[in-house]
Amino acid sequence: MTTIWQRVGWSIGIAGFLVACSSQQIPQTTLLPNTPGLESVYQDGRLAFKAQRYPEAARHFARVAAADPGHLKARLNWAAALSYSNKPAEAIVQCQNVLDRDPTNAEAYYQWGAVLVRQGQHQEALEKIEQALALKPITELLQEAPAMQQSLRAYLSRQRPQRTDAEVVRPSAGGDSSQANRSTPVGQ
């Protein structure tokens, strides 16, 4: 006959064994720069991103960037995936990492601007988009940058209307003068 203490001992032993087994990770192959394995992980990240599985895509791109810190496209895609995963601060860090390695990377400025747009920081976003547009060549990613720049300028001009001292703001016939000053979000 077993005592209660023996049962407790066995339970603790079994629980410890199960914890040890569950903490073991499935070994991942070591990724080396410029290898088919690294490219495969990168492509998996792109597929996950296109399927809108952003956290999964971010993990793939993070693995690629860890194995090859100079893989700037992986870092930019990582930034986009982080942004869509509601991690804008981490996304901006990746944009900065790209710019540390290549200060003339227009896509990094563009991605940084896109992150800021999603955060509602339109003035800062416009500055990053303009920095991207100042750099050449405009890549496939940047083809929408002029439209974004125009939308941001329009949004900001609605936020800060240019008025002369001679203009007088009069309430509308309905009595709600604030209605005229409301703006719609960019892109709507």
Residues 98, 108 share a domain: no
| pLDDT score at 55 | 97
| pLDDT score at 112 | 95
Residues 123, 75 share a domain: no
pLDDT tens-digit series, residues 22-36: 433 433 567 666 677
Which residue range(s) make up the domain with 76?
Answer: 30-102
Residues 96, 35 share a domain: yes
List of the chain residues with pLDDT < 50: 5, 8-27, 163-188
Written in H, E and C, the secondary structure of the chain is: CCCHHHHHHHHHHHHHHHHHHHHCCCCCCCCCCCCHHHHHHHHHHHHHHHCCCHHHHHHHHHHHHHHCCCCHHHHHHHHHHHHHCCCHHHHHHHHHHHHHHCCCCHHHHHHHHHHHHHHCCHHHHHHHHHHHHHCCCCCCHHHHHHHHHHHHHHHHHHHCCCCCCCCCCCCCCCCCCCHHHCCCCCCC
Q: Give the CATH number for residue 62.
A: 1.25.40.10
Residues 76, 58 share a domain: yes
Residue 186 lies in a domain: no
Q: Which pTM does this prediction carry?
A: 0.62
| pLDDT score at 108 | 94
| pLDDT score at 176 | 42
- Please tell me the total count of domains within the chain: 2
Residue 23 lies in a domain: no
